[in-house]
Every structure is written in C-alpha cells, then in structure tokens.
Amino acid sequence: MGFNSFRFILLFLPALLAGWYLLNRFEKHAVADVFLCLMSLYFYYSFGASFLVILLVSMAGNYLLSFLMDKLSGKKVLMAAGVIFNLALLFYFKYLGFFMENVNAITGGALTSRQILMPIGISFFTFGQISFIVDRAQGKAPHYPVLKYVMYTAYFPKLIQGPIAFHEEMISQFEDKSLRRFNPDNFARGLMSFILGLGKKAILADTLSKVVVYGFHYTYYMDTITGILVMLSYTFQIYLDFSGYCDMASGVSLMLNYKLPVNFNSPYKAATPKELWQRWHMTLSRFFIKYVYIPLGGSRKGKLRTMVNVLIVFVLSGLWHGAGWTYICWGLMQGLLVVWDNLGIVGVKDKEGNKTGKFLFRKEPLIWIPHFLGNALTFIMFVISLVFFGSQNMTYALQMFKQFFFFTYPGFLYKTAENLKLAENYLPRQLFTQLNMGDGMQNLIYVATFLILLIVSGFVMTRKNTQEIIEETRFDTRTVIGLAIIFIWSFVSLSNVSTFIYFQF
C-alpha cells in the first residue's frame, strides 16, 4: 500500500485524517496517539506481516537498551550494543548474501544461505534508531514514553522511504498540543505537496521507468545515442521518484500538522559536487556527517585525514544504498568528486559572477569557471556515476560505459522508444494507422514522446522545489484547477502502479 495506490488515497488516508482529528477534537490525545501508532503499524503490515514483526523486534530492542541506560552504568557499552544490534539486523537482511558471495569468490568456498526477503525501508528506520541510541548514551535524548517512541519510529510518512528524521524533530511536535487542531492552511499546502509529488511519480517518473528498465536490461544492445538518452531518463527518474515520494510524505505529514525535514533542495541546480550533496538526500548526508564524519575527526585532523574521512563517508553511503560493488563504486566516485572539489584546483563562480567558496589545499583556485559551466559539469558527472547505480552488476556497468566512449550507430532507439505506448499518444497513433502511414510514423511518435518527456522532466528540474512552491502559492482559481488536473491525470495513471526506487533501500 504505497502512497501511489488507490487503497491509500481512497481508504487509508481519509480514515486516518478523520480518526485523528475527531479524537483530538474531543481531546482524547492519548487515544489519538494510539490510533496514529496502530495506523502506522498497519500501513507497514500491508507490505508483509513478517516485515512488521522485524520492525517490532527492532523497536523493542532499542527501547529496552534506552531503558537500561537509566538503570545501569556503562552507557558507552550499551550504546555499542545498540549500534551492533541495529547494524546486525541490517547486515542479516540486506548484506548477508552479498557477503557470502564475496567470501566464496575469494576462498573458492560454497557458502549458501536461504533467500532472505529484505524488509522495506529497513535502512531508514534502522538509521533513525541508531541516532536515538547514540544520542541517549551522550545525554542528548531522554527515555521517552513508549507510545511517543513508537510514534517516532513507526510514523508512517517517513517509515519506508525517509526522510531520516531525528527524534527531537518529531517527538517535540508530537508533544505540542497546539498542533492537534485542524489547520486549514497546513492542510491545503500539505494536499498540494502530495498532489505535486504524486504527479512527479505517476506522470513523469513511472513513464520514464519504461525506457529505463528496458535500457538497463538490454545494455549489450544499446547504441551510443540511446544509451545517453536512457541515462538522462534514469537521472531524471530517480530524482522525480524519490523527491516525489518525499513530497507526498511531507504533504501527508503536513495535513496532520507535522513537518518532516526537507530531503531535496533542487540538487540538479548545484554547480559543484559538494553543493549537490548539500541538496540531495539531505537527511542521509547530515546523518553521516553527525554520526560518522565528525566522530572520525571531520576536518580537525589534517588535510589528508579529511579527504580519507570524506571517502569513507561516501563509500558507506554507496553501501547503504545497496549490497553490491556497483553501489560502492558509485559512492567512491562521488567521494572522489567531492575531494576534487575540495582541492581548489578549479573554482566555480556564483550566479552573479563572484568568486566564492572554501578549499582545502588552496586559498585561491588555479582557474575560475562560470556558474553555468560548473552546473553542467556537475550534472554530467552525476549522470555518469549513475551508470554504476542503475546497472545490474559491474559487467553491465562497464558495457554501458563502452557505449558512451565507443560510438555505435543509433539502431536501438526505436525499440527503446516503443516502450512509450501510452494513453497520451493513443490518438495520433490511431490517426496514422487509419491513414496507412506505416510503422515509420508510429516510431516517430514514440521517439517524439521520449524527447518531450525528457524536455518536460528537465524543465521541472529548473523550477523551484516543491517546498518553495507550496510556501509561496496563493490558492486562486487557476491554481486549484491546475492541481485538480494533475491529480486526476495522476490518479488515472495509477492503474499501472509501480513501486518506488528507494523501497529497496
């Protein structure tokens, strides 16, 4: 039952909102908390009963350790036990198969394990609980009442795909009784955020996925131009999919009067790799900075150590995204790009042409380039890095790189574009069929659809992000009609519901 499902939109969400506000209207706050917890747990249960059991075990283990921190001495030992407990669960369900595969490759052994189904969103709720346990041991978090802890951990808008919210951000809101009253402005802006996110997902990301899945599956048949277009499609798809989910999650939460941390800030507008990671998956970046980078010494132990720390963080970020060498290579490449950015060899001017930025080894870069060029180069390098992220394995990734650097005749574009047989281009397809204009015109329709889709997606990237839009919007007639069109179009598109990319993480 994802956010992009009839069941969620028509049944779950209305029941949740009605129950929540009705209970709080009669000041049954404790009952309302129980209701929100049960609805959140049911939401997770809808993906599988075994997943819910694992979530409950995870919450119970962490809450017990938090309780013991007030009863026993040795908080650091309990903190270590908590971190090991959480990482052990994550390792077993997400990385055990990858680990055995590599041990077998090195030793020539034949270790086997039964097929383990990874709980949806385990990386997200595990990292949230690690942050709580570490903060508890450091005296930065109290031992919350069990109901508040369950609300924080299982809160369904952030449960399966983030953002990674810290305990103090959410529990302080849950305890604020003034947020229990219905707020028409918050509700309207939350609904707008949900609709815009749904549009990103259902109209754009899911349509792009048709050519992306086909392209990565038939990498060996791909020609150079088609390969580049497929990679552009994937670059747009992964952003529209993940940011669209976050927009929906933030929208649902805002309808309840609770604000989730912003996870995306127009990352493709970044002019340097460092800036991109200040805009992309921001809650994951801040987690690694707070709980990995700074404890490793951050930038306090010399320039060489700083670069090593940066690389460690990005390799771990790659591994967090998936159990595979492709993800590790993707993380390493992003880390190297950030290190390069810090060297200060090339500086990027801001939009006004001013020379700005701090660099690790130099006060002044050797050369300065204009902002638009920095933006283009940053985007191109991110697209290239996603070859690792999207490929089935390293062999497929290397084959995709081969398509880029060794030009081949564009003979696969039509086959790839044929996947865009959509309701939206049904009428022109039928028109050309009735005019007996042959398969050639049909192919042109598919290619035109492909290019229009890329242009529209690229245009969306250059606009303000959803958070900025909902804060600035005045709800006039034109806005309401526009949102209604987006919702109806998205709702109709849900007949071909697909899962979110980041569910696998």
Closest CA to 85 of 105, 113, 65, 110: 65
Give the pLDDT score at 57: 96
pLDDT band at 355 (very low <50, low <70, confident <90, very high): confident
Is the separation of the CB atoms in 72 and 78 below 8 Å? yes
Q: What percent of the chain has pLDDT over 70?
A: 95
Give the pLDDT score at 496: 64
pLDDT band at 258 (very low <50, low <70, confident <90, very high): very high
What digits encode the pLDDT tens for the residues 59-76?
A: 999 999 999 998 888 899
- The domain ranges of the chain are 6-182
Indicate whether 155 pLDDT > 80: yes
In order, the DSSP letters of 177-195 are GGGGS--HHHHHHHHHHHH
When pLDDT is averaged across residues 207-214 and rounded to a whole number, the result is 93
Pairwise CA distance, residues 231 & 418, whole Å: 17
What digits encode the pLDDT tens for the residues 407-453?
A: 777 678 888 888 888 877 777 777 776 666 666 677 888 888 889 99
pLDDT band at 492 (very low <50, low <70, confident <90, very high): confident
3-state secondary structure 144-175: CCHHHHHHHHHCHHHHCCCCCCCHHHHHHHHC
Closest CA to 334 of 264, 386, 392, 279: 386
pTM of the model: 0.91
Indicate whether 124 pLDDT > 80: yes
Range ranked top by mean pLDDT from 9-23, 207-221, 431-445: 9-23
Distances 233 to 161, 226, 463 between C-alpha atoms, Å: 21, 10, 18
| Range in 102-106, 165-169, 485-489 with the lowest mean pLDDT | 102-106
Give the pLDDT score at 501: 60
Give the pLDDT score at 495: 67
Pairwise CA distance, residues 219 & 211, whole Å: 12
| Range in 43-57, 96-110, 320-334, 390-404 with the lowest mean pLDDT | 96-110
What digits encode the pLDDT tens for the residues 271-285?
A: 999 999 999 999 999
In which residue are the tokens 């009705």 written?
Answer: 22
What digits encode the pLDDT tens for the residues 373-419?
A: 999 999 999 999 999 999 989 999 999 898 888 877 767 888 888 88
Indicate whether 262 pLDDT > 70: yes
Indicate whether 45 pLDDT > 70: yes
User: CA-based Rg of the chain, rounded to a whole angstrom?
Assistant: 24
| Range in 447-451, 493-497, 500-504 with the lowest mean pLDDT | 500-504
Pairwise CA distance, residues 262 & 250, whole Å: 8
Give the pLDDT score at 300: 86
Give helix 224-255 / helix 394-405 axis angle, nearest 10°.
Answer: 120
Q: What percent of the chain has pLDDT over 90?
A: 65
What digits encode the pLDDT tens for the residues 282-308?
A: 999 999 999 999 999 988 888 889 999
Average pLDDT value over all residues in the chain? 90
Give the pLDDT score at 168: 93
Give the pLDDT score at 413: 86
